[in-house]
């Protein structure tokens, strides 16, 4: 089980296929999505990755939070989330997950907060049919009608579908197809609509109800920070450089 990512919804566009057909797609941007901490079985009782995305001013972050980001050697993040992973799918702390973490053609599950629509009636909120347009019904054509019995049960049960607040709920859309990825700009194009408004934060993960592609990268595609990548680059350069006096 691989880690998901935190992305930001940019908006919608259409992508043209080789056959000339256009596919509606939602653009998701990986806004500097980095690993903040590990959750281990010995210490926390479960295995997970804590990710952070976006940026915040250090002055707007509490002292304890600044210490946590300083320990991971990353800048303060605006959005945090945890993703359960297997013990072999842990990504190093400080690594930045890139857009090619997902493959074109694979299916993903998207979780976000739906757009708030305020107070809504039962027809808009629950897709009720409404009352009759004539034959004694006046004024209350879009109402929900009766909400319960008379003496028995003598009350309206909880969770009855009625008019009320609509939206601003956690919504997960399953089995959306990845249409295209842009590694340089950190963009993932997903077919169809995604819950939430422009600029909202989205959780993107491998589809649970679809088999993953065989060539899926494990534990994922990521970019190590410069401080960690420098020793590895220096070692590779030293190995490629001939020793003194060699070849003379």
* Helix, coil or strand: residue 100: helix
Q: What is the DSSP string of 174-236?
A: EEEEEEEEETTTTEEEEES--SS-TT-EEEEEE-SSSPPPTT--SS--EE--HHHHHHHHHHH
C-alpha pair distances (Å), 117 with each of 43, 114, 168, 197, 224: 42, 9, 8, 12, 42
pLDDT tens over the chain, length 248 residues: 899 999 999 999 999 988 899 999 999 999 889 999 999 999 999 999 999 999 998 888 888 888 989 988 999 999 999 999 988 889 999 999 999 999 999 999 999 999 999 999 999 999 999 999 988 899 999 999 888 888 888 889 999 999 999 999 999 999 999 999 999 999 999 999 999 999 999 999 999 999 989 999 888 899 898 755 544 444 544 554 554 445 44
Closest CA to 105 of 180, 197, 6: 180
Going by C-alpha positions, the residue among 186, 6, 5, 3 that lies closest to residue 79 is 6
C-alpha span between 7 and 203 (Å, rounded): 6
The reported pLDDT for the residue numbered 230 is 45
Query: What residues does 5 pair with on adjacent strands?
Result: 204
Q: If DSSP codes are grouped into helix, strand and coil, which group holds residue 165?
A: strand
Looking at residue 228, its pLDDT comes to: 53
CATH 2.40.30.10 fits 5-115+169-240, yes or no: yes
pLDDT score, position 226: 73
Identify the pLDDT of residue 177: 95
State the Cα–Cα distance between residues 195 and 177, nearest whole angstrom: 15
Q: Phi/psi at 179 (nearest 5 deg)?
A: -90, -40
Q: Where are the alpha helices (DSSP H) in 9-121?
A: 41-44, 63-72
Residue-range domain boundaries for the chain: 5-115+169-240, 117-166
Nearest to 28 by CA among 3, 8, 12: 8
Distances (CA, A) of 93 to 119, 128, 155, 208: 44, 50, 55, 25
Give the pLDDT confidence score for residue 245 in this predicted structure.
47
Alpha carbon distances (Å) from 200 to 58, 96, 149, 191: 22, 20, 43, 18
> What SS3 string covers 119-158?
EECHHHHHCCCCCCCCCCCCCCCCCCCCCCCECCECCCCC
Parallel, antiparallel or unpaired: strands 222-223 and 96-97: antiparallel
């Amino acid at each position: 089980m691989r880690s998901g990512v935190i992305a930001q919804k940019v908006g919608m566009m259409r992508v043209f296929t080789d056959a000339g057909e256009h596919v509606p797609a939602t653009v998701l941007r990986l806004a500097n999505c980095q690993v903040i901490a590990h959750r281990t079985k010995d210490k926390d009782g479960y295995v997970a990755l804590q990710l952070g995305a976006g940026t915040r001013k250090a002055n707007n972050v509490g002292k304890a939070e600044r210490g946590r980001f300083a320990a991971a050697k990353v800048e303060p993040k605006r959005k945090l989330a945890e993703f359960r992973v297997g013990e072999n799918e842990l990504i190093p702390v400080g690594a930045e997950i890139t857009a090619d973490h997902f493959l074109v053609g694979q299916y993903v599950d998207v979780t976000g907060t739906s757009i708030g629509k305020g107070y809504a009636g039962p027809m808009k909120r629950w897709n009720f049919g409404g009352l009759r347009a004539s034959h004694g019904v006046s004024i209350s054509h879009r109402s929900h009608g009766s909400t319960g019995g008379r003496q028995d049960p003598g009350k309206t049960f909880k969770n009855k579908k009625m008019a009320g607040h609509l939206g601003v709920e956690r919504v997960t859309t399953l089995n959306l197809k990845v249409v295209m990825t842009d590694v340089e700009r950190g963009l993932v194009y997903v077919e169809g609509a995604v819950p939430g408004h422009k600029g909202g934060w989205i959780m993107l993960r491998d589809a649970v109800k679809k088999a993953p592609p065989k060539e899926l990268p494990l534990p994922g595609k990521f970019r190590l920070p410069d401080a960690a990548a420098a020793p590895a680059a220096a070692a590779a350069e030293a190995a490629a450089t001939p020793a003194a006096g060699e070849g003379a």
